[in-house]
Structure 1
Amino acid sequence: MITRRPSDERGQGQFGWLQARYSFSFSGYYDAKHMGHSVLRVINQDIVRAKSGFGQHGHDNMEILTYVLSGTLSHRDTLGNIADITAGEFQLMSAGTGIEHSEMNRGDVPVELLQIWLQPNVRDLAPRYAQKSFERTSGLTCIVAPDGEAPEALPIRQDARIYRGILSTHEQLSQALHEGRKAWLQLISGRIRVNGQLLMAGDGAAIHDETELTLQAEDDSEFLYFDLP
């Protein structure tokens, strides 16, 4: 079963310095029908105004992935990490017993990003931080994988994998979905068909009880694919 989550039906947050679209319930947006999918709890598409951002705040026992789509985000945390995350880079924080951080746009143009939270399968471990860029290649690239499974990927404390997908117009790929697994696809740009169902930029799709997915690009497209327990 593939259930489309249309972009224009997502929740909205308008805060002056921040414009946000919420795939699942978050902050002041609540929808009992959209509380997450498997261990995937948050997908927010954020646009942060120039010279503003998320001031220092804390998290615990959550796996937090940030993908910067445009601009540069400046990171600082209580582990001592200070870094700029530029367009195309991924940041992963395992909050564990607790971490405080800030994410600021110090530039003169807006920053667009995806903010993604997954629940961990082990709690109260020491927090940690990782950041990486990946070569933009056609097909699926594993960005996040369970601890110790894929040295080239960012490590997560959960039996989950996240892939970045890039397809050119009319390009197609197939992806198996193993028994007992769920998936989510979040389309960043372009248009793709998932087993014939058309997704537009900003759309998501909850996927379960499928054995194989056929992804067909109608336009040049980029997406994130989540393989979930």
Structure 2
Amino acid sequence: MHKDSLGNEGRTVAGDVQVMRAGTGIFHCEFNREDKPTRLFQLWIDMRAPDASPRWASTAFPKANQTGRFATVASGRVGRGGLPIDADACVLGATVRAGEQDRA
């Protein structure tokens, strides 16, 4: 669960992707309301403009026909898809079974 000082609140389920730009300042927390442990993967990427206003967004990871294939989940590059970020970066993700390789 995500909650922040901008009034954003959302439940991020397994496989979802969220982005947050701290920018000029934001208070936030991530917490687990489930009865079982939560695992998450978090990346911190330097922004192009650190003085930008803060923001938050979330979306489901593209699952259909993606097994073994990379998909853009967040990008600061025009036309790459995924959630927009204010950075010179492109974050890719894939669902890969044991022994499987990327088919891209």
Equivalent residue in structure 1 for 2:20, among 83, 89, 93: 93
Shift of 1:156: 1.0
Quote the sequence identity (%).
33
Structure 2: runs of 5+ lacking an equivalent: none
Aligned residue for 2:40, secondary structure, equals strand
Higher strand share: 1
**Aligned 8 A contact 2:72 2:80 in 1:** no
| Inter-CA distance 158–87: structure 2 relative to 1 (3 Å threshold) | same
Provide the rounded CA distance (Å) in 2 between the counterparts of 1:130 and 1:150.
18
What's the TM-score once normalised by structure 1's chain length? 0.41
Q: How many residues matched?
A: 100
1:164 equivalent in alignment to 2:90: no
Equivalent residue in structure 2 for 1:144, among 56, 74, 92: 74
Shift of 1:106: 1.4
Structure 1: runs of 5+ lacking an equivalent: 1-73, 175-229
What's the TM-score once normalised by structure 2's chain length? 0.84
Q: Quick check: which has more Rg, 1 or 2? A: 1
**Aligned 8 A contact 2:70 2:102 in 1:** no
Corresponding residue for 2:40? 113
Mapping of 1:1-229 within 5 angstroms? 74-136=1-63, 137=66, 138-146=68-76, 149-150=78-79, 152-168=81-97, 169-173=99-103
Shift of 1:167: 3.7
1:149-181 alpha-carbon deviations (Å, 9 max, x no partner):
13741111111101002345344546xxxxxxx
